[in-house]
Copies of this chain bind each other. A is one copy, B any other.
Amino acid sequence: MASPVVGHLDPVFVNVMENIKRLLRIVFQTANEITFPVSGTGSSGMETALTNLIEDGDEVVVAIAGAFGERLADAAGRLGGQVHRVEAEWGRIVEPSRIEAALKAARKPKLVAVVHAETSTGMHQPVEELGAMAHRYGALILLDAVTSVGCVPVEIDRWGIDACYTCTQKGISAPPGLAPVTFSERAMQVVRSREKKSRSWYLDLAMIERYWGAERLYHHTAPITMNYALYEALRIVVEEGLTQRFARHQANATAMCAGLDAIGLKPVAQEGHRLPQLAVVTIPEGIDDAKVRSDLLRHFNIEIAGGLGPFKGKVWRIGLLGESSTRENVMMVLNALESVLSAQGLELARGAALKAADYAYSSMS
């Protein structure tokens, strides 16, 4: 990011753009032509998908089992979508059969929107079958992969996903600032045959594809420096290899969970559907949420996140995403947590968390 800024139509930058598109297709596991980073943070990717795919009155089936499902429903409704909510308890998956029931009940469903990695609960939504299901009912499928890309498999083409967005600062491990997106040809046909232009000028795919495509027609000035960062981060992801990267996340998650379990921190998400990149655990009785988090930050320079919405004060969210998913970080976080929780009076066998994590690692090799 310290490289000199060039113009947004400079041949040097055009070359960066082409490489970003190529590397993003690898990371999204897609051949989609329309694959590029939107000039905003992750949620601007969500908005790009919705503002281009929805027109006033369109029926949108939204799977909701946490804050990010709620966000999708809110954003879709603002854009004129008629939202059919398919809700599940926070921490549970949304059963695909219930999504199908909503599709069946709708008059003419336009879009199914699903969160792959529900960051508020640590839940890993099964989505492999949803593409084919949506298509059976004539609908497109949109996947929120903000916290999943680069951590767990996201196979756009194999799963038949029509639109997907992610961010730069999680599994891809660049600074926040861009929202990589990908759109299938089926989705682009919907975009190109809209009755009215998208509500958003800034996020209008019909215009943006002329800048990111061969025409290089000026639309808005791309955030040059952020694109440099994304380019380099994607090179690092591809250099490691997706398979290796997913295995690393899984290994560190297994050790982390063993360690957390040893000090009594239980996961919130339904068994069998827990994200390896994010441990969301219940705060034990009598423990001061804010003090634990500020002690971790002040004494150990570790930030863990608090709960969102109804989970505020009830859970902690501990990320092991992208470059941060390392054995050293697992051990450091467990050790720090043990220390801070002991100081608050929780009776813990000294070193139990590290021992459990270490045992988990040695069982893997």
Q: Which A residues lie at the B interface, using CB under 8 A?
A: 1-2, 5-8, 10-11, 39-44, 46-47, 51, 71, 74-75, 78-79, 167, 169, 175-177, 196-202, 218, 220-226, 229, 297, 303, 305, 308
Contact = CB atoms under 8 A, between A and B. Distances in A.
B176 A8 contact: yes
A201 B75 contact: yes
**Chain A: interface secondary structure?**
loop
Contacts of A197: 78
A200 B47 contact: yes
Contacts of A198: 78
B78 A201 contact: yes
Contacts of A196: 78
A250 to B, nearest CB: 25
A9 B41 CA distance: 15
A130 to B, nearest CB: 23
Nearest to A170: B221
Contacts of A167: 221
Nearest to A303: B7
A113 to B, nearest CB: 13
Which interface residue of A39, A51, A221 has the most chain B CB atoms within 10 A? A221
Contacts of A297: 10-11
A5 B177 CA distance: 12
Which interface residue of A6, A8, A11, A226 has the most chain B CB atoms within 10 A? A226
Contacts of A51: 199-200
Contacts of A220: 41-44
25 contacts: A1-B225, A2-B2, A6-B303, A7-B303, A10-B303, A42-B221, A43-B202, A44-B220, A46-B202, A47-B200, A47-B201, A51-B199, A74-B201, A78-B197, A78-B198, A78-B200, A78-B201, A79-B199, A175-B224, A175-B226, A176-B223, A177-B226, A200-B200, A218-B308, A225-B229
A333 B206 CA distance: 36
Given A176-B222, A176-B224, 7 more contacts: A1-B1, A1-B225, A39-B44, A43-B221, A47-B200, A74-B201, A223-B226
Which interface residue of A47, A169, A223 has the most chain B CB atoms within 10 A? A223
A41 B175 contact: no
The 9 closest A-B pairs by CB, nearest first: A177-B223, A75-B201, A1-B1, A175-B225, A40-B40, A43-B220, A47-B202, A176-B221, A7-B303
Contacts of A71: 201
A169 B221 contact: yes
Contacts of A74: 201
A196 B80 CA distance: 11
Nearest to A293: B9
A15 to B, nearest CB: 14
Nearest to A67: B218
